[in-house]
Structure 1
Amino acid sequence: MTRGFSLIAIGALLALTATQTFAAGDPARGKTKTATCVACHGKDGNAVDPQYPRLAGQYADYLAQALHEYKDGRRSNLVMKGFAATLSDQDINDISAYFATMPTKLQGLENHIQGE
C-alpha cells in the first residue's frame, strides 16, 4: 500500500512540474511581441533567407526551449542571446505559442543543408 501511494505521489509531482515547466502561452499576446522576430524570421514566421530558421508551425515547446537556451547561453548566437535576454518566461511562452499556430511553408531539407 505504501509503495503504491509513493508511486502515485511521484506521478502527481511530475505532472505538476511538467505543467509549470510547459505553461501554455497565448498566441494573441505572442503576436504583439514579435516585432524584433519578424525582421529575420518573416512576418508569418516563414523566413525567406535560408540562414534564418522558419518558426511557423514548429512545436511551441521546442521554440520555447530554444529561446530559453539562447537566453541562458546554452545556445550560442549573440544576436539571439540579445533578443532573448529581454524576454520574460511568459513572453517566451506567448511568442512560441504564436509561431506554433502559424501555417508552415517547410517542405524538406533539400537545398537547405550545407554542402548540397
Structure 2
Amino acid sequence: MLHKTSTIVLLCAGLLAAGPAAASGNPELGKAKSATCVACHGADGKGIAPTFPVIAGQHADYLILTLKQYRSGERNNAQMAPMAANLSDDDIADLAAYYSQLPGLKTPKP
C-alpha cells in the first residue's frame, strides 16, 4: 500500500512540475515566432507603451488560454484578433513557452 501511494505522489509531483505548457512549447521556436509581437510588446515582452500589456514572465497556461481566446473570438480585441487568427496550437505553445521564461516586471518595495 505504501509503495502504491508513493508512486502516485511522485507521479503527481512530476506532472505538476512539468505542467502541460512547459512540456509542449519550445522557447527557442517561440522567440523566432515573436517577430510580430515585438511591434507592441517590445523585444523584452514588457510593452513599448503603458497601453500594451506586459507578457514577459506571465504563466504559460495564461498566455495559451488568452491567445486561443483571441483566435476564437471569445476575447474581442481589434489589435490581437488578427494577430492570433492564424496561429496554430504549436505556435501558441511556443510563444507561451518563450514569453513565460522571460523576466517580468518587479513590484517596487514600499
Q: Shorter chain as normaliser: what TM range?
A: 0.7 to 0.9
8 Å contact kept, 1:54–1:106: no
Instruction: Give, in whole Å, the separation in 2 of the partners of 1:106 and 1:80.
Output: 25
CA shift, 1:51, in A, is: 0.6
Query: 2:32 corresponds to which letter in structure 1?
Result: T
* 1:64 maps to amino acid: I
Provide the rounded CA distance (Å) in 1 between the counterparts of 2:62 and 2:106. Answer: 16
1:72 aligned residue: 72
Measure how far apart 1:24 and its partner are.
1.7
Q: Would you say the 8 A contact 1:31–1:95 is kept in 2?
A: yes
Task: Choose 1 or 2 for highest CA Rg.
Answer: 1
State the alpha-carbon separation in 2 of the partners of residues 61 and 40 from structure 1.
21
In the alignment, structure 1 residue 83 sits paired with structure 2 residue 83 = yes
Task: State the superposition RMSD in angstroms.
Answer: 1.9
Q: CA deviation at 1:48?
A: 3.6
Structure 1 residue matching 2:79: 3-state secondary structure:
helix
1:47–1:53 Cα contact (<8 Å) kept: yes
Match of 2:62 in 1: 62
Structure 1 residues not aligned, in runs of 5+: 1-14, 109-116
| Identity %, equivalent residues | 47
Q: What are the equivalent positions in structure 2 for 1:1-116 lying under 5 Å apart?
A: 22=21, 24-107=24-107
Once the 2 structures are TM-superposed, how far is the Cα of residue 36 of structure 1 from its aligned partner?
A: 0.7
1:48 and 1:82 map into 2 onto residues whose CA distance is: 19
Superimposed CA distance per residue, residues 27-51 of structure 1 (whole angstroms, 9 cap, x where no aligned partner): 0000000011010001010114111
